[in-house]
Amino acid sequence: MSTSYNRIAGQSVERLAALSDGIFAVGMTLLVLDLHVPLREAIHSEHDLLQGVAALAPRLLMYMMSFLTLGIFWVGQQTQLNHLERSERSLTWLHLVFLFAVTLMPFSTMLLAEFIEYRLALVAYWLNILLLGSMLYLSWVCAEGLQVVREDVPEETRIAIKRRIIVAQCLYAFGAMLCVFSPYWSIGFIVLVQLNYAVAPPWPRRSG
């Protein structure tokens, strides 16, 4: 009976997408909870208020960086789900592990915002991104192995989905390694990578 159940469990792509939307929405909303307005008692002039807002700059940067991170991975997961005919139990669980990594993002963001000068905090943030990317890649490989990808999806699209994840993760790994020099170098590089994927500038292609 358990074999029959496993065969029919977790096949709805629509329900998986709905759950994903909800978790991403909550995760992206929780990011802003780490931003606090300056204490009213400490503000006595425009200058004090300006200093108080300026002190929030590191947390604002972390908020923007993580919002971009989750936005990029949401687009990546939805792209995969849109190319599936159905899901399978094992594939659904891979996506659930991916969503688990999504729920960790507010924590890793707060950790980095609080200890922005420490390499360990940066590495923890990168490991969160690595888990997201790894599970997204494995879920697509699993979908291909289970033959649940729509038949009309061309081979070049299948390859492009995997290549995009690999390239992005290599760039994130390089960014993380820059913390050997300074965590700020890593953060700056990661933000540039994210802006590239979010804006998606039309890079000119070589002819021939």
For CA atoms 9, 13, 21, 157, the dihedral sign is positive
Q: Using an 8 Å Cβ cutoff, are 136 and 165 in contact? A: yes
The C-alpha atoms of residue 192 and residue 54 are separated, in whole angstroms, by 22
How does residue 13 score in pLDDT terms, banded at 50, 70 and 90?
A: confident
The answer to whether residue 208 is domain-embedded is: no
In a domain, 204, yes or no: no
Nearest residue to 158 (alpha-carbon basis) of 147, 167, 149:
149
Res 102: pLDDT: 96
**Candidate from 38-47, 60-69, 117-126 with smallest mean pLDDT:** 38-47
Residue 186 pLDDT more than 90? yes
Model confidence at 198, pLDDT cuts 50, 70, 90, reads: confident
Measure the CA–CA gap between 86 and 162, rounded to whole angstroms: 19
Residue 8: what pLDDT? Answer: 46
| Cα gap 142→25, rounded to integer Å | 26
153 — pLDDT class (breaks 50, 70, 90): confident
Which is more confident, 186 or 12? 186
pTM of the full structure: 0.85
CA 82 to chain centre: 18
The domain of 80 spans 11-199
